[in-house]
Amino acid sequence: MEKGLQEKTGKSLEQWIKIVQKTKLDKHKAIIDFLKSEHGFTHGYANFVALKARGADAASHNADDLLTNQYKGKEVLKPIYNELIKKVSKFGNDITITLKKDSVSIIRKKQFALIKPATKTRVDLGLKLKDKPTTDRLGNSGPFGTMCTHRVQLTDKKEVDKELLDWLKEAYEKAI
């Protein structure tokens, strides 16, 4: 994105960040609207610059800090996250784990799972399993909306069992 931004606009990301900072705009949408209306940006580049200018993208934060903040006050849930990552990492060397402010995306060519500490007692695991019926355990996507098709609510690392790993593996295999 950064290279494309330079090619399309003739200005570097750092230059655009300074331009945005001079406006004193601090709301994401306001920055996007400014870049689109005043500088002819496409939505993708405007969003990219807005995230960078606000320091709101995952790359602007230390990965350890992002994870620490996600589990702050929910430390009891971290073993569930660790177990999921340990198991899913064995599926293949084509997996990317992307930390975000409030969740972690697990991606092959497409995102196939999302891990989010939902409450102080529960981790939500979102899965992309198109056309798979829901069950008592494999529920609808809930708050994940269209990012995932299903959600499994986990309260203990022992729940990262064969059934759950089979769903994760199926989601991984479909993410091509």
The ranges assigned to domains in the chain are 2-60, 63-174
For position 50, what pLDDT does the model report?
87
For position 131, what pLDDT does the model report?
92
The phi, psi pair for 104, rounded to 5°, reads -130, 125
The phi, psi pair for 25, rounded to 5°, reads -75, 140
Q: What's the N-to-C CA distance of the chain in angstroms?
A: 23
For position 55, what pLDDT does the model report?
74
> For the chain, which residues score pLDDT lower than 70?
56-64
- Could you read off the pLDDT of 96-122 as tens digits, one per residue? 888 888 999 998 988 999 999 999 999
For position 170, what pLDDT does the model report?
97
For position 33, what pLDDT does the model report?
94
